[in-house]
Amino acid sequence: MAITNNKVLRLTFLTNLGKTLTIIIPNPKPDLTKTEVENVMDTVIAKNIFMSSSGEIVAKRDARVIDTTTNDLYDP
């Protein structure tokens, strides 16, 4: 039995087709600030660096740090 912790930064954007696009970044630095996250999201939008079937990224929607704990009860 093992307990593992996992932390990710989930950036969610809106696209020009009215859909959402999510980028997940594993192991964000512990002292990450709102300003740093917003600056990165603004850069992603300005540079249009991701191609998606959901359309071009045009706006920020959400940013969250998600911390999960998994308790593996059975692992053969």
| DSSP string over 1-22 | -EEEEEEEEEEEEEETTS-EEE
- pLDDT, one tens digit per residue, over 39-64 is 999 999 999 988 899 999 999 999 99
pTM, full prediction: 0.87
Alpha helices in the chain (DSSP H): 34-47
- pLDDT, one tens digit per residue, over 14-41 is 999 999 999 999 999 999 999 999 999 9
